[in-house]
Chain A
């Protein structure tokens, strides 16, 4: 057989070439970061091709929650400083992949935006950060409505969103999203933590009257606290929905006084809580007796900023919090010290959750070895981390809720305070196991609640 008999046709050459390249390319499928797996999603890889990456911090700079937003921004700036230069919780976090030289060797920069405490404005600000500044992750918010809106945007755009201050069950309940993660605790957990303490303090046969901010967060908190207290044997006398931002609560408080309830539960936040609590005290409710017992006031979600606004009226009022500046575990201590050194006053719980979220995301990127969102999400899902607060924290894979110890706190009387920031005292640190619940209970959307895809559609 002569060599020339083997016709080397054009078609044959093409076939052979295709087969060869297929064989050569095959192993790439098993290499992480290979072309076939990491397709472009959201701002990846456009936002990570340079020597630095950008994070977007979209916080309320104007509107009702501007104070919380300002504190969040301080925490974000501190987190970026620590990511680039070490320090803070980078010294306590375990397991830790961050080296204090940026993330994956890239310097971290950031852009900011104003949510105006308004979901639409928040989404616009986030869109700017994503489209123009190509942020690889965005974080912030101080309102559950904003958080929910941002999570849907995140899923739609394929850019991870790390929630800051959002306490509604819906955020990791019926509106949970694959691209959204919440470190802050929720209303349901407030109920679990607060219920037993209330029964212990005030007895098992109390009659409660609720005033509730008339929007999603208020509704979920009312339901959670109602269920938790009724489980302890309490009776719910009535619940009045009050408009958000109401300046005057006297008519609702009058209804509460005229009922036979002996506990007033204020499902209010921010200025609403400051006003309703102050007016309740002015009405003399704290000195009144019903059913032979003192009337008690409960504020299920407490914050330092609210305590500051309500002044002396918070003495003896119970509630729950995600964080307190008196925590002394290594992680909290490192953060509180770094924050106080930087700004001259202790951080609020809004600041703490903002700071931790930034670090958790960055650490997950280092662990995944890539900014590719699906890999980062997988690194966060089910991650158990120590040294970012008391005990071990777990990011549950099913609903992206972070579980950790939460606090039951009580307002301090003016005489017990050591300085102007010393407003709340920790009554109980409720361990993570106690505030863990199944991911598919009805309060969290039941079995219908789905996270959605790792790779956003189209």
Chain B
């Protein structure tokens, strides 16, 4: 029974997608405004809580990475364990361009963007044929291959092997050096743009299709939708977010570590998404901020046992709060006596308070009528 309802849900989403809702609502503008305010003032308020300016830049960069990851995992339900391949490749391409072509970041970012597009297409075509754990393993395998390639003795002359790519010039933008706050605001612009883009994607018929894939790809396939094309688009978009983050990391500090392309980087972004709240957009961003803050500031207070404490936090989060920080916020809000409106984006023909149950009921009714 539940299978039928879920299949119905998928169809319902697909049907709703054919009608155009507003992509950005008034509430969204409020959310975006608050988001911009919080992000842009970060170098100031982060210092108040024992942080520092460079950490703010790092958080912004990883927020972009986690945000893009959420488009694949949160929307489409594909858990990639190989996003380091995109983050790292972009970092290496950017680094090599800065070192050998010009210290200007515009060509560096353009080349890395184009290069990454091709890499994402190739890996996507090869991995998206499978789903679930098989997809995760395939992406992990590709990332590990990329890592081995970077460290291989054939490429070592270019990539610097285990030392990472060193000796890069200070990156410049139209002649002015990219340092300190300049990099922060440059990266923040990408984060804000990326956040708005993700909101729009979530609202769009395209975003609805992605969610439908998460619910029931097979049913969607039967309705004549080219599921592979949608999965591929989500995968590439997600990879491009990772790529931008990778490029920005090199601009933020002109150095490429081999870790950028190592599985630990893939794992870190998964953890960020999970502890923040998968599929919420803001959750992975919070997760990125928390992880980096913990790793760089709280670590100093705890000392050598910091990884143990971090591990315990993960365990508690996964057991008691699988929905992450966003879920925690919702629970607190609810316990204060407020109601949380279950929001169903992209479903314009329903009242705002409509929830999943109502959609299910309606679909059941329609199905009964059809019979």
Q: Mark B344-357, 1 if CB is under 8 A from A, else 0.
A: 00000000000000
Q: Mark A100-135, 1 if CB is under 8 A from B, else 0.
A: 000000000001111000111101110110011000
Residues B54 and A148 in contact, CB atoms below 8 Å apart: no
Residues A148 and B166 in contact, CB atoms below 8 Å apart: yes
Residues A120 and B259 in contact, CB atoms below 8 Å apart: yes
At the interface, yes or no: A289 with Cβ under 8 Å from chain B? Answer: no
- The segment from B116-124, B125-133, B295-303, B363-371 that touches chain A is B295-303
Residues from 219 to 255 in A contacting B, C-beta threshold 8 Å: 219, 241, 244
Residues of B within 8 A of A149 (CB): 163-164, 166, 255, 257
The listed residue with most B CB atoms (<10 A of its CB), out of A128, A170, A241, A457, is A128
Residues from 147 to 167 in A contacting B, C-beta threshold 8 Å: 148-149, 152-153, 156
Residues B297 and A128 in contact, CB atoms below 8 Å apart: yes
At the interface, yes or no: B33 with Cβ under 8 Å from chain A? Answer: no
Residues of B within 8 A of A131 (CB): 52-55
A62 and B296 CA atoms in complex are apart in Å by: 14
Residues B304 and A114 in contact, CB atoms below 8 Å apart: yes
- Choose among A111, A128, A244 the residue that contacts B55 (Cβ–Cβ < 8 A): A128
A214 and B147 CA atoms in complex are apart in Å by: 14
Contact A145-B162, Cβ < 8 Å, known A61-B304, A132-B51 = yes
The prevalent SS among residues of B at the interface is: helix
A77 to chain B, nearest CB (A): 13
Contact A125-B163, Cβ < 8 Å, known A153-B255, A156-B170, A457-B170 = no
B154 to chain A, nearest CB (A): 13
Give the bracket for the number of chain B residues in contact with chain A: 35 or more
At the interface, yes or no: A3 with Cβ under 8 Å from chain B? Answer: no
- Choose among A70, A145, A241 the residue that contacts B163 (Cβ–Cβ < 8 A): A145
At the interface, yes or no: B161 with Cβ under 8 Å from chain A? Answer: yes
A114 and B164 CA atoms in complex are apart in Å by: 19
A215 and B156 CA atoms in complex are apart in Å by: 10
A217 and B151 CA atoms in complex are apart in Å by: 13
Contact A119-B170, Cβ < 8 Å, known A124-B58, A128-B297, A132-B52 = no
Nearest CB in chain B to that of A62: its residue = B307
A153 and B253 CA atoms in complex are apart in Å by: 8
Residues of A within 8 A of B51 (CB): 132
Residues of B within 8 A of A132 (CB): 47, 50-52
Residues of B within 8 A of A144 (CB): 163
At the interface, yes or no: B290 with Cβ under 8 Å from chain A? Answer: no
Report which A residues bind B (CB closer than 8 A): 61-62, 66, 70, 111-114, 118-121, 123-125, 127-128, 131-132, 144-145, 148-149, 152-153, 156, 170, 175, 214-217, 219, 241, 244, 457-458
Could you jot down 5 A-B contacts, CB within 8 Å? A66-B304, A70-B304, A124-B296, A153-B253, A156-B254
